[in-house]
Chain A
Amino acid sequence: MKMTPKLATLLILAALVLLAPFLFPSNFYYRVGALIFVNSIAVTGIVILTGYAGQISLGHAGFAGIGAYACALAPAHFGIHPALAVVLGAAISALLAWLVGRPILRLKGYYLGVATLGLGILISMMLNNERQLTRGPDGIEVPELGLRALLKGWGLDLTNGQFWYYFCGLCMILGAWLALNLHNSPSGRALRALHGSEVAARTVGVDVARMKLQAFVISAVYASVSGSLLALQNKFITPDVAGFMHSIEMVTMAVLGGVGSVLGAIFGAAILTLLPQVLTVFAEYEQLVLGLVMMLVMIFLREGLLPSILRKLRRKGE
């Protein structure tokens, strides 16, 4: 069987998830790994929206907020199982993305960036101010998913850190698989076509507004699921998950690693999640470094780290 880029990416991801624990100096790193995978899921959605379709969102953390608070609020208020709350959050995010994107994506230009910026801030404000429902900036506890206990019953006894590491790793690989499927499918081709030349895409029959809307809705679902997984593993969530800085973080991770490639974007997510964890100095200057990284990548490595490195290696090989 021929090794397609899709298969190669999935194998690399699976190998990393399975082999990395052998290098962990302490159990703390299961937690760091799980955070990387959670961010990778959101960033894979950004690859579809920005890398494939060429659209920018500055408010994707808003959808992560919806996913996170769905897991906190739906079980408490409606008695829904947390796993179903993930689905509910994704559905609300998809619906909201559709409602906001439909009028905006008919327009040409950078309206989506501005509209999503507003939407993200709005969601963040709501989570902060609707104290009776969300308990405001102090945050709210999130119920146990219950899957770990279920696995224990089947004889697979994992620590909390291990469980979330492998579970989020699996979700990340699933998300990558979907995004890679899309890349070479008719819909993915249409997205990349309208990114390359909107006018040419329209003349080959691509309904540009509809395709952009689909990409926006799909990427919102990715962000929502990422927020849900973050809330469920922390068992606690604050409105910061929906904050503007989190939105910028998602875009920076994708752009740093390479927004056109799933593996590249995940690479970017890994670097920017890992750095503040291992270098405490970095944490204090995180926003400063984020801005600097973004500027340097845009100037020197416009395709992102991983695609630029691969290109250099290929040149050397020739």
Chain B
Amino acid sequence: MTASRDTQTTLLSVEGLGISFGGLKAVNDVSFAVKPGEIVSVIGPNGAGKTTLFNMISGVYQPGAGRISLSGEEVTGMEPHLLARRGMSRTFQNLQIFQSMSVLENAISGFHLQERGSVLADLLSLPGSRRRAKAAEEGARKLLARVRLAEAADREAGNLSYGSLKRLEIARAMASQPKILLLDEPAAGCNAVETEEIDHLIAEIAASGVAILLVEHDMKMVMRISNHIVVLDHGEKIAEGDPATVSRDPAVIAAYLGAEAQTGGDHA
């Protein structure tokens, strides 16, 4: 995989990205690239700026510096719904499920870009509107089967278990047929079985050619499935490379152990 990194074209490239919140540099001068079908993980201690980085890439935050390009087109600071049209999709660390909808409706919502049409046609329930909705429903049922939620389709989303909701979010994000999928801690709060399920799901999605950018705390999972790892600490990139290289990097070990040593010191 490492050899092919250089031959394939870059899908997402991030150059010198930075943002400050009230003088505090939350993310500073971070650069990396993601290629199609590749799983790239962003790791780092708590508060390293991983989610902030995600929010900038997915258009939720406006970056203060740097540039982002998707398929060669500059998309820095572009609104999330426009990024979705260009093939970017994401999940959230703190689940963002449409709670009052059924599981099926949540999945159908992911097909918004394919099913949307004139609001007048929707009000009058014209055949075109019904056809689009039906196609989206069929697609959604297939996706739910893929994340093993087919049985729960008609349940209210708010009643699902945490692990199921995580899979539902991935299904919803997959519905727009993205070129790149950003997953923010997909296994957080999941038990070992659920983590393994999500693990398989991510590998499967990547195998279908979708690039994955992952933030995850479960190091075993990260080391197992990543092709490439970017390490952040205090908002800066301190290391980058394949799992084996990164896990041996002295700066990475220091960041993780240092963080633990510091907490220990606070207690004393």
Residues of A within 8 A of B (CB): 178, 181-182, 184-190, 192-193, 195-197, 199-208, 214, 218, 260
Is there an interface contact between B81 and A185, defined as CB atoms closer than 8 Å? no
Assess whether B243 is interfacial by the CB under 8 Å rule. Answer: no
Assess whether B98 is interfacial by the CB under 8 Å rule. Answer: yes
Give the residues in chain A near B60, CB-CB below 8 Å. 199, 202
Is there an interface contact between A186 and B96, defined as CB atoms closer than 8 Å? no
Q: How many residues of B contact A (CB 8 A)?
A: 40
Is there an interface contact between A186 and B58, defined as CB atoms closer than 8 Å? no
Pick the contact of B81 from A181, A184, A187, A207 — CB < 8 Å?
Answer: A207
Complex Cα gap A192–B98 (Å)? 8
Assess whether B66 is interfacial by the CB under 8 Å rule. Answer: no
Shortest distance from the beta carbon of A260 to any chain B beta carbon, whole Å: 7
Give the residues in chain B near A197, CB-CB below 8 Å. 96-98
Known contacts A189-B108, A189-B109; decide if A202 and B80 are in contact (CB<8 Å).
yes
Shortest distance from the beta carbon of A97 to any chain B beta carbon, whole Å: 14
Given known contacts A199-B96, A203-B83, what 20 new A-B pairs fall within 8 Å (CB)? A182-B122, A184-B133, A185-B123, A185-B125, A185-B129, A187-B119, A187-B122, A189-B112, A190-B109, A193-B98, A196-B100, A199-B80, A200-B97, A200-B98, A200-B172, A204-B109, A204-B113, A204-B172, A204-B175, A205-B116
Give the residues in chain B near A187, CB-CB below 8 Å. 116-117, 119, 122-123
Known contacts A204-B110, A206-B81; decide if A186 and B132 are in contact (CB<8 Å).
yes
Pick the contact of B122 from A188, A192, A199, A207 — CB < 8 Å?
Answer: A188
Assess whether B173 is interfacial by the CB under 8 Å rule. Answer: yes
Pick the contact of B176 from A178, A201, A205 — CB < 8 Å?
Answer: A205
Most-contacted residue by chain B among A190, A193, A204 (CB, 10 A)? A204
Stretch at the interface among B85-93, B248-256, B260-268: B85-93
Give the residues in chain B near A214, CB-CB below 8 Å. 119
Residues of B within 8 A of A (CB): 58-60, 79-81, 83-85, 89-90, 92, 96-101, 105, 108-110, 112-113, 115-117, 119, 122-125, 129, 132-133, 136, 172-173, 175-176
Is there an interface contact between A189 and B81, defined as CB atoms closer than 8 Å? no
Give the residues in chain A near B59, CB-CB below 8 Å. 202
Most-contacted residue by chain B among A192, A200, A208, A214 (CB, 10 A)? A200
Pick the contact of A186 from B81, B89, B92, B117 — CB < 8 Å?
Answer: B117
Pick the contact of B123 from A178, A200, A203, A206 — CB < 8 Å?
Answer: A178
Is there an interface contact between A196 and B136, defined as CB atoms closer than 8 Å? no
Q: Which partner residue on chain B sits nearest A185 by CB separation?
A: B122
Is there an interface contact between A205 and B122, defined as CB atoms closer than 8 Å? no
Complex Cα gap A188–B125 (Å)? 11
Shortest distance from the beta carbon of A258 to any chain B beta carbon, whole Å: 12
Is there an interface contact between A200 and B112, defined as CB atoms closer than 8 Å? no
Is there an interface contact between B122 and A260, defined as CB atoms closer than 8 Å? no
Complex Cα gap A199–B92 (Å)? 10
Shortest distance from the beta carbon of A171 to any chain B beta carbon, whole Å: 15
Chain A: interface secondary structure? helix
Known contacts A197-B98, A199-B60, A199-B96; decide if A205 and B119 are in contact (CB<8 Å).
no
Is there an interface contact between A186 and B98, defined as CB atoms closer than 8 Å? no
Pick the contact of A196 from B99, B117, B173 — CB < 8 Å?
Answer: B99
Give the residues in chain B near A184, CB-CB below 8 Å. 133
Most-contacted residue by chain A among B90, B100, B125 (CB, 10 A)? B125
Complex Cα gap A189–B104 (Å)? 11
Is there an interface contact between B123 and A218, defined as CB atoms closer than 8 Å? yes
Is there an interface contact between B124 and A181, defined as CB atoms closer than 8 Å? yes
Pick the contact of B84 from A192, A195, A203, A218 — CB < 8 Å?
Answer: A203
Pick the contact of B112 from A181, A190, A195 — CB < 8 Å?
Answer: A190
Pick the contact of B58 from A185, A190, A203 — CB < 8 Å?
Answer: A203
Is there an interface contact between B122 and A181, defined as CB atoms closer than 8 Å? yes
Known contacts A186-B116, A186-B132; decide if A178 and B124 are in contact (CB<8 Å).
yes
Is there an interface contact between A186 and B136, defined as CB atoms closer than 8 Å? yes
Is there an interface contact between B98 and A203, defined as CB atoms closer than 8 Å? no
Complex Cα gap A218–B124 (Å)? 13
Q: Which partner residue on chain B sits nearest A184 by CB separation?
A: B133
Give the residues in chain A near B85, CB-CB below 8 Å. 205
Q: Which partner residue on chain A sits nearest B98 by CB separation?
A: A196
Is there an interface contact between A193 and B124, defined as CB atoms closer than 8 Å? no
Complex Cα gap A238–B98 (Å)? 43
Complex Cα gap A186–B116 (Å)? 5
Complex Cα gap A203–B108 (Å)? 14
Give the residues in chain B near A192, CB-CB below 8 Å. 98, 100-101, 105
Complex Cα gap A204–B80 (Å)? 8
Complex Cα gap A184–B89 (Å)? 24
Give the residues in chain A near B132, CB-CB below 8 Å. 186
Is there an interface contact between A196 and B97, defined as CB atoms closer than 8 Å? yes
Known contacts A186-B132, A196-B98, A199-B60; decide if A204 and B122 are in contact (CB<8 Å).
no
Q: What 7 A-B pairs are tightest by C-beta distance, nearest first? A: A196-B98, A185-B122, A205-B84, A200-B96, A202-B80, A181-B125, A205-B113
Shortest distance from the beta carbon of A225 to any chain B beta carbon, whole Å: 14
Q: Which partner residue on chain B sits nearest A190 by CB separation?
A: B112
Complex Cα gap A252–B207 (Å)? 53
Q: Which partner residue on chain A sits nearest B137 by CB separation?
A: A184
Complex Cα gap A189–B175 (Å)? 15
Q: Which partner residue on chain A sits nearest B55 by CB separation?
A: A199
